[in-house]
Structure 1
């Protein structure tokens, strides 16, 4: 296990370098001019202002030279300066990442809980109304676009019924607690503001459900398929013949064996949600990495775009590593190659 982890960690910088190279090259082939995010429309016709802006931001250098400078700065922890915010990209990313992590963790808890529960019920009540309803839910969750579902639920539960709050992480009149971890739910508890904690959890329900919906459908289909196979095996019949209760048979034996492949799907789904929360964050005005990436793309903020890509790639690689480790721990029969 130790050798396997070390090999993966040694290979990770080279993979990150490949991600950096690809992201850097993609920003150079776009038709947009990054100067539009730096120089005002009135000054674009002024050659002196344009030349000064190019020299300040290094846009007057050749592509290999810019790439070498960027990689050299990256090794020192410098991702460049955002064209729009005029702040270091690393600072912006560290400020935005906890909000996305909080949303994704909540969405993963919602998706995994609903998906596993529905998958178990669908397999146990095979070919019944519960099974058909579970499969319909999985199909609906995987097919409905996130932006449509988010807008629809926001309109129904927030605008029409008023049972859940609107966009944002807190009520518009609330004063945010001092930032310690960046997780609003944790920071409110650390500040002793239990009312703000409930408000933060209340604002987290809708976006977490929307983001975890598709994951729940995928997990429920996987759990159902594996549970149907495991429930027909001989050791399940033996457990029932020995007088084990149905709950112990289903949860203690069948579901436990189903969780090995399910862990892999949950791990990859977590990485997918972390890098694909753009629409959800935009709809619910969630100040995370997704909305930051949207603003960067709209403003042709190339340093911010590359920075978001790098962080997303690193998180994806780390998630894959942790998923593989969890898979081996859950199933000791697997041998690491």
Structure 2
């Protein structure tokens, strides 16, 4: 087990370097002009201003030189300076990342609860209306585009019915609590503001549900398929013959044997949502990594684009590592082999 973890940790820096190299090279082959985000249109015809801007941002150097400088600075924690905000990209990312982490954590919790529950019910009541309803729910979540679902639910629950708040993390007229963790729900509790905590929680429900619905559908289908296969095994028939209740058979015997592959899907889904929450954050005005990436792409902010790509890649690799370790821990047969 320890050797397995060490091998993965040793390979991690090389994988991260590959992500950095790929992100850096992709920004150099794009048709966008990096100077367009630095120099105004009226100054683009001024050779002195253009030369000064290139020298200031290192654009007058060759590609290999810029790559070596960037990797060297990155090793020291410097991801460059944003063309738009004029702040260090690392500072912007650290400010935005907790908002995305909070949203994705809530989304994966909602997706896991709904997906596992529907999968168990669909398998326990196979070929009944409950089974058909759960499959329709999973199909809708997997096939309907996130942007359409977000706009539709936002219109229904916020505009028409008014039961859930609109975009944002808090009431726009409310003062932000002191930032300790970056998680709005936790920071409001640390500030002792219970009313603001529930406000942050209500703002979190709708975007988290929209983001987690597709994952809930995938989890539901996986749990249903594995449960049906497990329920047909001999040890399940033996448990029923011994007089075990149906609830005990389904939950304790069948569900426990389906949790290892389900755990793997949940872990990979968490990594996917962290890097794929762009549309949800844009629709709900969520100030996270996704909306930061959209603003960077619109403004041709190449340092920010590279920074977001690197952070997303590193998070994806770390999440996959933790998921694989959890899989090895949960499945003794993998550990013994």
Q: TM class, shorter-chain normalised?
A: over 0.9
- 1:294 aligns to what SS in structure 2? helix
Displacement over 3 Å in runs of 4+ = none
**Which residue in 2 is equivalent to 1:100?**
100
Establish whether residue 218 from structure 1 lines up as the match of residue 209 from structure 2: no
> Would you say 1:113 and 2:113 are equivalent positions?
yes
Aligned equivalent of 2:161: 161
Aligned position for 2:258: 258
Does the aligned pair in 2 maintain the 1:4–1:336 contact within 8 Å? Answer: no
- 1:186-238, Cα deviation, whole Å (9 max, x unpaired): 00000101101000000000000000000000000000000000011111111
Partner of residue 54, structure 1: 54
Q: Matches of 1:286 and 1:80 in 2, distance apart?
A: 24
1:247 CA displacement: 1.4
Aligned to 1:278: 278
Counterparts of 2:3 and 2:307, CA distance in 1 = 30
Determine the structure 2 residue equivalent to 1:197: 197
In structure 2, the partner of 1:302 is 302
Is the deviation greater in 240-249 or in 169-178? 240-249
Within the alignment, does 1:4 sit opposite 2:30 as a pair? no
Deviation at 1:329, TM superposition (A): 1.4
CA contact (8 A) 2:119 2:222 kept: yes
Contact conserved, 2:123 with 2:225, CA < 8 A, in 1?
Answer: yes
Query: By how many angstroms is 1:336 displaced?
Result: 7.0
1:143-186 C-alpha deviation (Å, 9 max, x unpaired): 00000000000001101111100000000111110000000000
Q: State the alpha-carbon separation in 2 of the partners of residues 108 and 166 from structure 1.
A: 21
Q: Where in structure 2 are there 5+ consecutive unaligned residues?
A: none
Asked whether the 8 Å contact 2:102–2:183 carries over to 1, the reply is yes
SS in 2 for 1:171: coil
TM-score by length of 2: 0.99
2: CA distance, partners of 1:244 / 1:174: 54
Query: For 2:334, what is the secondary structure of its paired residue?
Result: coil
Task: Write out per-residue CA displacement over residues 243-290 of structure 1, whole angstroms, 9 at most, x where no aligned residue.
Answer: 211111111110000001001100110000000000000000000000
1:10-25 matched pairs, under 5 angstroms: 10-25=10-25
* Superposed counterparts of 1:229-248, under 5 Å: 229-248=229-248
What's the offset of the Cα at 1:83? 0.4
TM-superposed CA distance for 1:239, in Å, is 1.0
Asked if the contact 2:264–2:324 (Cα under 8 Å) also holds between the matched residues in 1, the reply is yes
TM-score (norm 1): 0.99
- 2:329 and 2:73 map into 1 onto residues whose CA distance is 38
* Shift of residue 335, structure 1, vs aligned partner: 3.3
